[in-house]
């Protein structure tokens, strides 16, 4: 395929219906094959019944693909959602995390796989880990599609991570900017 003047593949950019130009950072094929590998990694580290807890809203697309990849492993996942909001300035969370919708299940004694779209400052995931630990869950593991390593404000590392992500605001594959772009099948950056 011919390269553009900047040395990029022409299809590395996408024109959204609203006129925005989005640079594709992780395309659908790369995400799909990484998720298959992630499911195998998770199945090596966990066993039996796992309560998969997607942290809404951004993780719903990733979680949907991840549990279908887990179907090919010996794990027996069940799913329960936790909806959290973190408040801050602009595009970065500021410290206060709030439960918008709680789990239906009692996590006591259960092995948990928290699933989030992106680990940024770490506040949201740290809050979720603390919450489930306080409720006496069994093992609490975490899986994020993207890790913005450079943005961390709280000392937390994911147990399973899809990709390291540059410290830029990304959209697509469930992630939004003002509720838009969740439907994109890839992860990209608005340019
Ligand atoms: P943290 O609490 O700062 O780690 O923020 C994590 C949450 O912020 C994620 O679950 C996302 O919902 C949101 N977030 C962080 N960075 C981005 C981004 O680049 N695009 C979209 N959402 C983001
Ligand atoms: Mg989120």
The predicted-structure confidence for 23-40, as pLDDT tens digits, reads as follows: 999 999 999 999 999 999
**pTM, whole model, 2 decimals?**
0.93
The rounded Å distance from CA 3 to ligand 1 centre is 32
**pLDDT (0 to 100) of residue 107:** 98
Distance 5 CA to ligand 2 centre (A): 36
**Residues sharing a CB contact under 8 Å with residue 53, sequence separation 6 or more, in sequence order:** 79, 80, 81, 82, 103, 107, 112, 113, 114, 115, 128, 132
User: Which residue owns the Cα nearest ligand 1 atom 3?
Assistant: 121
Token duo for residue 169: 């605001």
The alpha carbon of 60 and the centre of ligand 2 are apart by a number of angstroms equal to: 9
The number of CA neighbours under 13 Å toward the Cβ of 121 is: 15
Query: pLDDT band for position 10 (50/70/90)?
Result: low
Please tell me the residue having the least CA distance from ligand 1 atom 17: 169
Torsion of CA 44, 48, 49, 50, to 10 degrees: -10
Domain boundaries, the chain: 31-162
What letter does residue 82 receive in the DSSP assignment?
E
Atom of ligand 1 at shortest distance to CA of 176? 21
Cα–Cα distance measured from residue 188 to residue 22, given in angstroms and rounded to the nearest whole number: 6
Q: How far is the CA of 163 from the CAs of 34, 82, 84, in angstroms?
A: 8, 23, 22
Secondary-structure class of domain 31-162 per CATH:
alpha beta
The binding-site residues of ligand 1, defined as CB within 6 angstroms of any ligand atom, are 58, 86, 93, 116-125, 169-170, 175
Across the range 80-85, mean pLDDT stands at: 97
Counting from 1 in the atom list of ligand 1, the atom nearest the Cα of 118 is 9
Q: pLDDT by residue (tens digit) across 107-139? A: 999 999 999 999 999 999 999 999 999 999 999
């Amino acid at each position: 395929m011919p390269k553009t003047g900047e040395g990029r593949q022409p299809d590395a950019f996408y024109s959204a219906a609203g006129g925005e130009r989005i640079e594709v950072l992780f395309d659908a094929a790369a995400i799909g094959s990484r998720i298959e590998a992630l499911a195998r990694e998770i199945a090596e580290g966990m066993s039996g019944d796992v309560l998969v807890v997607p942290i809404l809203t951004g993780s719903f697309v990733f979680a949907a693909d991840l549990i279908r990849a887990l179907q090919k492993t010996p794990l027996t996942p069940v799913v329960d959602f936790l909806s959290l909001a973190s408040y801050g300035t602009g595009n970065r969370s500021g410290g206060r995390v709030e439960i918008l919708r709680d789990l239906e299940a009692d996590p006591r004694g259960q092995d948990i796989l928290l699933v989030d779209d992106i680990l940024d400052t770490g506040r949201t995931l740290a809050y979720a880990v603390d919450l489930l630990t306080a409720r006496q869950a069994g093992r609490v593991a975490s899986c994020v599609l993207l890790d913005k390593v450079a943005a961390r404000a709280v000392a937390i590392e994911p147990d399973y991570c899809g990709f390291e992500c540059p410290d830029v605001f990304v959209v697509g594959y469930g992630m939004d900017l003002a509720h838009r772009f969740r439907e994109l099948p890839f992860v990209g950056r608005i340019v």
